[in-house]
Every structure is written in C-alpha cells, then in structure tokens.
C-alpha cells in the first residue's frame, strides 16, 4: 500500500502571502485524519503479514514453573510460540548508550520471574489474529504465586524504600515552620492513573533478512530506534522507525515498550511482517502509568498571608525493575516567594508495571498538593485565594536566584478573575446559589518548565515551486506538522498549499522526542534557519546561473520574497519565481541545513529561569439533595510565551481541562490486592471525562513573547494546561460543600460527609 505522506496541496486554499504565525491555523494534517487517509501504526499491512498475541501473567508476583505450549503449537495457523525458555537473547540498553531509554528496562522474557500482573510471559504468532488469540489462550502457564504488594499506603514500613532524596533546599524549614503564626500541615494523595490515548499502542515489524522497518506509535522515533538497535543487537543503520500520525500519547509513547520487541523478534525469526497491537486491557499493565503519589505539605505563613516556609515531602510508587521518580517538586521551588523551602522525595516499590511520564509529569500531582494547601491556607487566614497568590508572587526564581525570562503569573490571576467574575464570589462555604444548586468557585495556579533542546531540520526549495521541511521528530496529534508549515510560510512567504512537511521517520535528520512540551521551541529556530539558508542558496544559484536575469549580480543585491527572486531594491513582482530559476539551472532543489542550539548554550537564555505559568478558575454545581456534583465552568489563562497557533494552542488547553476533570473526579487505576490485577482495565470501569461531563471552557492566552526562547518567543503548551486544574476543582468543591478532598479522585462518598 502506498504510504500517505502529508500533502497539503489538496486541502488548503492558497492564501495570500501573509504570515500565518500567530494566526489560528487549522491543522494541515486534519483532512488526512478526518478522511481516514492517515495511517496509524497498526493500519500498516503487507503481503504475508502475520499476528502476534501475548500471553500475560495472571499473577502479580512469583515464578513461572512451567509453560506448556504443546496444545497451542498444534492449533491451526500457529507459526511460533516464544517464552523465556526458548527465546533468543535480547539485550539491556547499555550505560553510555546513544540516548536510548526503554519504558521497561528488562528485556522481554528475560527470566521466569513475574513482577506484575499482565507481564508478558509468552507470545503466539499465527496467520490470523483470531488464530493467535485462540492459541495464546491455550498456552498453559503454571506459577508459584506470591502475594503481591500493591498497597496504596506508601508509608508502609514493610516496604523496601529507596533513600530520601533532597530535591531543593533553602533556609531552614523546620525552625521557620515551628515559629510561623499560621501553619498548614496536610497530606495529599493522587492515585495511579493510566494513559488512555484514543490510539492504542501497536507495532508492525518488517524484517527483510537484513534490516528492520518498524511502524510504531511513538513520541520519539529516534529514541525508539536507539533502544531497539541495542535491545535487538543490530546496527542502528539497519533499523528504520516510522510514526507518521498518532492518536495521542500523553507520555505513554515516549519510550519503547515490550510489545515492540515482540513484533521485531517474531519478524526476524519468521522473516515475515508481524503485527502486534496492545488491547485496552493491556494498556493498563505493560505500557506505563502515572504512579500513585503521597505528598505531605507544610506551609508556614505570617498573619498577612506572606509565606515563611514551604516544605514538600513526597513519595511515589515505582516498579520492581525500574526507579521512576515522579518529580512532584517540579514547580514548588519557584512558584512562590519564600525564604525557607525544602522538597524531598522517596520511592517505594510495588508489583506494578514500570511507571512512565504522563502529561506534566511531577508538576501535575505536585501542584495538586501545593495549590490545595494554598487554598487551605487562604481559608484558614480568611483571605481571598487570589489575593494570597498575588501576595506571594515573585519575579525571581528563588531556587536559582535568576530572574524569570517572562513571568506574568499576577496578570494570569487578574485576567482570569476578571473573565470569571471572581469579584462576585462570597467566601463562606455554601453561600453561593444558582436556583436549587450550590455553586463552588475555586482557583489554582499552573506552571511547567520551558525547554528548548538542540535540533536540526532540512529545508529545500523545489523546481515545482514547493518548499519542504523534514526532521525525525513526530506529531503526537498536537499540531507539530502545522507549526513546521507556519514557520516555512513565515520565512518564505509561500502559501500553505505549496508547503510539504515530512516527519515521523527515523531516517530523516535526527529530531527531538515529543516530550516535555519541547518540540515547538526546539524545532522552530531550526526550520527558520534552514529556510533562510535555502533561500540564500537560491539567490546564489540565481546569481551564478548563465541566462538568469540575475547572472553576475552580487548575491547581496538580491532578495527572496513570497517565492520570487528579485533585486532587493525593486518590488518582488518584478522578479522571477524561484522554480523557474531552478529549472533554468536544471537543479531540482536547493537546500538549507537548519540548526538550533539548546537553551543552555544561548547566552541570552542562561541569565534566566524559563517557565510557563497559568491559572485555572473552576466552577462546580452541587446538588445536595441527590449528591450530584458537576463541573460547570472553567476559565484558563495561560502565559506560555508567544502563541504561534492560537487554535492548536487552545485545543491543547481545552483538552487538558477535560483531562483535569478526569483527574479531579474520575480517574484511578485500581489494583486487586490478591493478584495485582488492575481490575478496572476497560472504559466501562476506568472512568474518563466524556463530552457530557465537559463544561464550558474558556481559554485566554497572555501572548507575551519570551525572546530568551528564540526569535519566535514561543514556549511549549502541551502539558501546562493540565497543571492546576484538579486543585481548582477540589477548591471549588470545598467552597460548595465544605469537604476538603485530599485524596483524588473526589468521590460521592466524600461529598456525602458535607
């Protein structure tokens, strides 16, 4: 089947040569998705393709005593049954490796130890999916089972605990807290939550006898390649990873998971293309999750609300095989001014699959705790929670002593309060009504780091009049294709229907992983640089080509405007379209190799602390008669630098608000204590926010360019939207009901205590 490469020509009207940077620009890949033309990983099909299906452990801890595959092996269509007893060896990713990180570090089927429920213990490959599933069900595994530990009590003294780790420290929190006139000391718990992107994980592996092509749903095709090369023991140049389109990832697709190895080894052994997809129930075991966190927050304050100490001790669970720290102190050290601060962390092991980053890792659960505690402080002080935050604002990152490159947290609070109508709020619990309903209004702050890595991008101008940019990064579904095209449009003046963007292929020039909201700030300077170099190469060609009207003219006298090469003192219309000059020279394309440097290498950035900020206001309605709580309104104000695409940007913030409602009210992965089975591993029992649960969501961007980040002044926007939504909602719940929810999600049983 021919591959759908992004071709925007069919779908976009020719626009006037006017920059679309900063304009609400529809996704250039939208029509391919809405028409079903875009191919996702599991959509790839090849002649001779066969299917692998896993056998997943039904115990949460113990040993495999025996695997009896005799019956399965004789079933129709079965080609291969693999397990720890007969698999050819796979490797660990070695230290000092070429930036490879696997989601689960243990190679597939490495031993007979079962460390979590759902761990793959065998796999069956068959001619059809149904044959593979039937045979997998016929593989008999006998176990020596032990009682797993999936306790949600993270202070359990029985548990192996990794040493306490100090993450940030200034002053002396103990003495400051002890003498503070106002004290808050509370513990907050966020549960295990599971990434549930619409597109589940899947791999189609094609081994041709020499090299692998892997069709993946991956947030990092380059990292995926590096890991697979190491774990499979093949040279990097013998693997190509393709991930053209994604139905989202939320962090769950940052690193390769064992099913990818399953497809690859089966393909290599059978020399046939092999497809594996991860069904929804196994999305809850071997492809990561956000771990449970437990956070004790102590705040000391003066009577006027000024903070004197902030102390966060958190712990999170991790798996038996991997040390995953949830980084709940991501935002704590600098969000508010306080002379005394301490953030510590500890890990405790549980019989669960490896945790992995989920949207706003660390900051999201961390801000649930810190911002909830701030609300408790406001209540105790009898102070407005917006006022309390304004009072403790700072323009200096007190953890480093550096000023923020661009922080407008105060303005977020003020603009949000204005749009929300906060001045009409009356503070007393249950004091606001809407008909028979009680209204609750809450607010919480948001923060997420602003990152920029080094990157390269290739830009070329072609003799058909198009411009093309390519890079081995990928579009999680957030709008990366469109941002590429917007920058090319801005630099070359060519309309979107003459712009081609190619990404999602590890054979392109290496690009960034789509994680940490880094891609926009990382890649836009490289595309801009590549476009400038390609246009410069075009002018050089125009000057050096015999027969060109510009032959012999100094390059410095020429300009490239809206696709025309012209004398820079004369209007663009007096020149020649660049494609005509390419044809004259018999050159198919001129190229520009774009580069951008990481933030730490930029002198203008090193002086600053770079972060994005935001504030969410939430309204809930509470009907005590039938114990019914709804989130009825969210207003978000986001300070994320210059917004390159307000449409795609607002989509991210709205989607995050919806996810935040899930975090506050619904989502929690429940492990059965006897066998560690995540029993709500389906969409009937694992509740996510639906359209019916989604309120009116209003998004405002402050849109201050942050030039420490580069010429476009843009910071990332994928993750910050989720930070702060849950504590805004639980603060609103407190305002409506008087119930303080310190353990997510808020449940009806909690609210009935009101």
**Which chain residues interact with ligand MOS by CB under 6 A?**
219, 249-251, 254, 357-359, 361, 515-516, 719
Using the minimum distance from each CB to ligand MOS, give the nearer residue, 219 or 312: 219
- How far apart CA 185 and CA 734 sit, in angstroms, is 17
Taking CB atoms, the residue at the shortest distance from ligand MOS is 251
CA-to-CA separations, 48 to 55, 127, 275, in angstroms, rounded: 23, 8, 11
Minimal distance in Å, beta carbon 249 to ligand MOS? 6
Using the minimum distance from each CB to ligand MOS, give the nearer residue, 251 or 575: 251
Using the minimum distance from each CB to ligand MOS, give the nearer residue, 359 or 498: 359
Minimal distance in Å, beta carbon 659 to ligand MOS? 12
- How far apart CA 437 and CA 415 sit, in angstroms, is 27
Minimal distance in Å, beta carbon 451 to ligand MOS? 10
- How far apart CA 151 and CA 160 sit, in angstroms, is 12
Minimal distance in Å, beta carbon 166 to ligand MOS? 24
The answer to whether the CB of 512 falls within 8 A of the CB of 473 is yes
Question: What is residue 225's DSSP assignment?
Answer: H
Minimal distance in Å, beta carbon 514 to ligand MOS? 6
Task: Report the SS3 class of residue 315.
Answer: strand
Extended strands (E) in 497-644: 499-502, 558-561, 564-567, 576-577, 589-596, 611-623, 628-639
The answer to whether the CB of 20 falls within 8 A of the CB of 566 is no
For helices 725-737 and 363-381, the axis angle rounded to 10 degrees is: 30
Structural element, H or E, at residue 53: strand 50-56
Minimal distance in Å, beta carbon 589 to ligand MOS? 34
Minimal distance in Å, beta carbon 252 to ligand MOS? 8
Q: What are phi and psi of 278, to 5 degrees?
A: -100, 115
Query: Among positive and negative, which fits the CA dihedral 279, 281, 287, 289?
Result: positive
Using the minimum distance from each CB to ligand MOS, give the nearer residue, 69 or 246: 246
- How far apart CA 472 and CA 439 sit, in angstroms, is 49
- How far apart CA 695 and CA 200 sit, in angstroms, is 27
Torsion of CA 741, 743, 748, 750, to 10 degrees: -60
Task: Report the SS3 class of residue 262.
Answer: helix
- What residues pair up with 468 in beta bridges, in sequence order? 460, 500
Using the minimum distance from each CB to ligand MOS, give the nearer residue, 118 or 357: 357
Minimal distance in Å, beta carbon 219 to ligand MOS? 6
Helix boundaries (H) for 328-397: 332-335, 363-381, 385-391
Torsion of CA 284, 289, 294, 299, to 10 degrees: -140
Alpha carbons within 13 A on the beta-carbon side of 120: 31
Using the minimum distance from each CB to ligand MOS, give the nearer residue, 417 or 663: 663
CA-to-CA separations, 407 to 285, 546, 703, in angstroms, rounded: 39, 54, 11
Structural element, H or E, at residue 474: none
CA-to-CA separations, 296 to 186, 316, 484, 743, in angstroms, rounded: 6, 12, 43, 12
Rg of the chain (C-alpha set):
28
Rounded to 5 degrees, what angle do the CA atoms 557, 562, 563 make? Answer: 80
The answer to whether the CB of 638 falls within 8 A of the CB of 412 is yes
- How far apart CA 146 and CA 150 sit, in angstroms, is 12
The answer to whether the CB of 336 falls within 8 A of the CB of 396 is no
The answer to whether the CB of 112 falls within 8 A of the CB of 84 is yes
Minimal distance in Å, beta carbon 646 to ligand MOS? 22
Annotate 422-441 with DSSP letters as a single string.
GGG---STT-EEETTEEEEE
Using the minimum distance from each CB to ligand MOS, give the nearer residue, 359 or 616: 359
Using the minimum distance from each CB to ligand MOS, give the nearer residue, 477 or 495: 477
Choose among 659, 139, 105: nearest CA to 358: 659
- How far apart CA 336 and CA 323 sit, in angstroms, is 29
Using the minimum distance from each CB to ligand MOS, give the nearer residue, 357 or 530: 357
Cα end-to-end distance, the chain, whole Å: 60
Minimal distance in Å, beta carbon 688 to ligand MOS? 17
The answer to whether the CB of 716 falls within 8 A of the CB of 640 is yes
Q: Catalytic amino acids?
A: 719
Minimal distance in Å, beta carbon 515 to ligand MOS? 3
CA 474 to chain centre: 12
Using the minimum distance from each CB to ligand MOS, give the nearer residue, 251 or 530: 251
Using the minimum distance from each CB to ligand MOS, give the nearer residue, 173 or 659: 659
- The torsion region of residue 121 among left (phi > 0), alpha (psi -120 to 50) and beta comes to alpha
- How far apart CA 630 and CA 620 sit, in angstroms, is 5
Using the minimum distance from each CB to ligand MOS, give the nearer residue, 256 or 516: 516
Using the minimum distance from each CB to ligand MOS, give the nearer residue, 322 or 619: 322
- What residues pair up with 565 in beta bridges, in sequence order? 560, 576
């Amino acid at each position: 089947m021919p591959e759908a490469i992004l071709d925007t020509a069919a779908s976009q009207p020719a626009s006037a040569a006017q920059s679309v940077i900063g304009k609400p620009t529809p996704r250039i890949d939208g029509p391919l998705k809405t028409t079903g033309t875009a191919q996702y990983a599991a959509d790839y099909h090849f002649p001779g393709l066969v299917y692998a299906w896993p056998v997943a452990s039904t115990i949460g801890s113990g040993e495999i005593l025996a695997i009896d595959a005799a019956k399965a092996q004789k079933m129709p269509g079965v080609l291969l049954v693999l397990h720890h007893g007969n698999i050819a060896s796979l490797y660990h990713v070695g230290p000092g490796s070429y930036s490879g990180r696997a989601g689960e570090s243990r190679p597939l089927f490495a031993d007979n130890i079962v460390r979590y429920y759902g761990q793959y213990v065998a796999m069956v490959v068959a001619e059809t999916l149904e044959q593979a599933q039937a045979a997998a069900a016929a593989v008999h595994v006998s176990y020596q089972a032990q009682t797993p530990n999936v306790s949600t009590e993270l202070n359990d003294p029985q548990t192996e605990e990794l040493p306490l780790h100090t993450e940030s420290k200034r002053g002396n929190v103990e003495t400051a807290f002890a003498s503070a006139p106002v004290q808050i000391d509370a513990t907050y718990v966020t549960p295990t939550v599971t990434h549930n992107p619409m597109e589940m994980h899947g791999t189609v592996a094609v081994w041709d006898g020499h090299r692998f092509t892997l069709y993946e749903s991956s947030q990092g095709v380059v990292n995926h390649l590096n890991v697979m090369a190491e774990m499979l023991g093949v040279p990097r140049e013998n693997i190509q990873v393709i991930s053209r389109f994604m139905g989202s990832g939320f962090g769950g697709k940052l690193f390769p998971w064992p099913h990818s190895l399953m497809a690859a080894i089966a393909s290599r052994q059978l020399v046939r293309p092999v497809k594996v997809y991860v069904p929804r129930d196994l999305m809850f075991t071997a492809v990561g999750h956000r771990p449970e966190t437990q956070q004790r927050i102590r705040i000391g304050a003066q009577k006027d609300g000024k903070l004197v100490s902030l102390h966060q001790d958190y712990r999170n669970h991790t798996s038996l095989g991997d040390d995953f720290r949830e980084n709940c102190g991501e935002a704590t050290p600098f969000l508010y001014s306080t002379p005394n601060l301490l953030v510590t962390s500890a890990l405790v092991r549980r019989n669960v699959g490896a945790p992995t980053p989920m949207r706003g890792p660390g900051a999201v659960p961390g801000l649930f705790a810190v911002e909830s505690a701030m609300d408790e402080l406001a209540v105790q002080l009898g102070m407005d929670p917006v006022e309390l935050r304004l009072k403790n604002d700072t323009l200096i990152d007190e953890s480093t002593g550096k000023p923020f490159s661009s922080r407008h947290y105060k303005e977020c609070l003020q603009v949000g309060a204005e749009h929300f109508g906060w001045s009409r709020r009356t503070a007393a619990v249950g004091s606001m009504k809407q008909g028979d309903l009680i209204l609750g209004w809450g607010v919480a702050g948001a923060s997420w780091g602003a990152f920029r890595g080094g990157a390269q991008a290739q830009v070329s101008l072609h003799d058909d009049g198009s411009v093309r940019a390519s890079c081995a990064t990928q579009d999680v579904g957030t709008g990366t294709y469109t941002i590429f095209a917007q920058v090319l449009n801005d630099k070359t003046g060519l309309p979107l229907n003459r712009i081609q963007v190619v990404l999602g292929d590890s054979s392109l020039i290496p690009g960034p992983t789509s994680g940490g909201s880094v891609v926009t700030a990382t890649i836009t300077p490289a595309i801009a640089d590549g476009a400038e170099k390609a246009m410069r190469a075009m002018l050089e060609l125009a000057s050096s080509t015999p027969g060109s009207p510009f032959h012999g003219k100094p390059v410095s006298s020429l300009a490239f405007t809206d696709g025309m090469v012209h004398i820079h003192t004369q209007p663009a219309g007096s020149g020649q379209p660049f494609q005509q000059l390419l044809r004259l020279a018999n050159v198919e394309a001129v190229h520009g190799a774009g580069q951008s440097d990481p933030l730490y290498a930029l002198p203008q950035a090193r002086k600053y602390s770079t972060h994005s900020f935001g504030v969410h206001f939430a309204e809930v309605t509470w009907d005590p008669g039938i114990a019914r709580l709804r989130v009825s309104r969210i207003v978000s104000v986001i300070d994320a630098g210059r917004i390159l695409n307000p449409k795609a940007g607002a989509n991210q913030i709205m989607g995050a608000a919806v996810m935040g409602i899930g975090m506050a009210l619904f989502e929690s992965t429940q492990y059965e204590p006897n066998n560690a089975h995540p029993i709500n591993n389906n969409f009937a029992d694992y509740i996510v926010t639906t359209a019916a649960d989604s309120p009116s969501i209003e998004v405002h961007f402050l849109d201050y360019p942050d030039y420490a980040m580069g010429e476009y002044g843009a910071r990332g926007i994928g993750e910050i939207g989720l930070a702060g939504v849950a504590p805004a909602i639980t603060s609103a719940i407190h305002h409506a009901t008087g119930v303080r929810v310190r353990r997510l999600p808020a449940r009806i049983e909690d609210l009935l205590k009101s």
